[in-house]
Amino acid sequence: MDIQDLIREQVSSNAVVLYMKGTPQFPQCGFSAAAVQILKRCGVSQVAAVNVLENDAIRQGIKEFSNWPTIPQLYVGGEFVGGSDIMREMFDSGELLQMLQDAGAVAPQ
């Protein structure tokens, strides 16, 4: 399985996937930490977090897969959402919570 197939499998088989630097318990950059906090504030309890620092092929491959140059990257329901800045804007508007609810990642409130 090539790296693009692996990423496609990760994104399609999990409701929420966060490609980040570090782990949710120990983020290795401020943007990844912000992304994790936003997901927690939305009530997401299950996130497939992929530490790009552990695998350079994934670190480069995810940038090609999404055509987005930076990490973190969030996928919800198989769709690319964006990085931490976009996540924050969507959180502030309520759009991210709605997207997570629609994907079954959090219960409707």
CB neighbours of residue 65 within 10 Å: 20
109 has pLDDT over 90: no
The residue assigned the tokens 């994907």 is 103
Is 42 annotated among the ligand-binding residues?
Answer: no
- On whether residue 95 sits in a domain, the answer given is yes
Strands (E), 2-72: 16-20, 48-51
CATH of the domain at 16: 3.40.30.10
pLDDT in tens, 92-108: 999 999 999 999 999 87
Taking CA atoms, 77 is separated from 18, 32, 55, in Å, by 12, 20, 23
User: Structural domain tally of the chain?
Assistant: 1
- On whether residue 69 sits in a domain, the answer given is yes
Domain membership of residue 52 as a residue range: 3-102
For the residues 4-15, what does the mean pLDDT come to? 96
- Full-model pTM: 0.96
5 has pLDDT over 90: yes
pLDDT in tens, 33-71: 999 999 999 999 899 999 999 999 999 999 999 999 999
